[in-house]
Amino acid sequence: MTALKLDGRATAAQMKDDLAKRVSKLKDQGITPGLGTVLVGTDPASQSYVGAKIRDMEEVGINSLHRELPESASQDEVLEVIHELNNNPECTGYIVQLPLPKHIDTDTVLEAMDPAKDADGLHPLNLGRLVASAGGEITWPLPCTPKGCLTLLRNYDIDTKGKTVLVIGRGITIGRPATLLFTRRDVNATVIAAHTGTTNMEELIGQADIIIAAAGNAGMVTKDMVKDGVVILDVGVSRETNAEGKTRIVGDVAPDVADVASAMSPNPGGVGPMTRVELVANVVEIAEQQAAKASS
């Protein structure tokens, strides 16, 4: 068996075409969505990721409101930027790029955000809505990576209903919200959450119909662990440097798992582009909801 490639780049490109049309329609109504990006410090990965997000927004016609602070910025200085974006009418939604420097309390910063402008879906109120809502319409921003995982599966008509989904990792951006999202009635999966404290990881991997690997542990899921026909979303990111000093990104799933999987996302090029396009989608959805309220 050669696994079907779950192509995040191609899926994201299709979504961008649709999102650009929706942004154009909003502009016809006199509304231009704007995304704020808050970057504290000079972490190269964060700088690269924020730059890519800004390019994505500009491609579909969304304005960029970038705010950059030095590594030495105080918590109060970061909160001043949060307050400014909360009250800026040109800002439809915004993100605070994580991780923040260690001297800044991440929870305090996220809680200070206007939940209606939380484009990453990580405000405690929005995460709490996900906890409280097992069904019905979702009217608040969802965390982008779990949302992108589900969109990618649906784009390839991969059924989740009644399937056993193993989520490896319990981080706030992927693992924890993915567990909640995949148990909603419209997804209807049986979800197992595994992490560094899990003692029977190989047994659980062997039981799973769908695996969302988001541990950041290079190659931890191997061919001999999974069952034939498994669907794999490789979300973890590790960086390996070879003898020549060149660095490359590798995922949590060994490449030869593709020999036995029915479908598998590449890494890079799978869930990463979906995460970014779902951020665009969140901003567009916030703007559309604001337009609907204004016209009612």
Which residues are known to be catalytic? 53, 97, 120
Angle (CA) 44-49-53 rounded to 5° is 150
Strands (E), 136-246: 164-168, 190-194, 210-213, 231-234, 238-241
Q: SS3 letters for 61-123? A: CCEEEEEEECCCCCHHHHHHHHHHHHCCCCCCEEEECCCCCCCCCHHHHHHHCCHHHECCCCC
Q: Which two tokens stand for residue 187?
A: 């997804």
Q: What residues form DSSP beta bridges with 213?
A: 168, 234
Distance (Å, rounded) from C-alpha 217 to C-alpha 31?
A: 43
Do 226 and 257 contact (CB within 8 A), yes or no?
yes
Distance (Å, rounded) from C-alpha 29 to C-alpha 290?
A: 12
Q: Which two tokens stand for residue 68?
A: 């950059």
For 93, list phi and psi in degrees, rounded to 5.
-160, 160
Q: What residues form DSSP beta bridges with 154?
A: none
Which long-range contacts (C-beta less than 8 Å, at least 24 apart) are formed by 17-23?
19/60, 19/277, 19/280, 19/281, 19/284, 20/59, 20/60, 20/61, 22/284, 22/288, 23/60, 23/61, 23/62, 23/284, 23/287
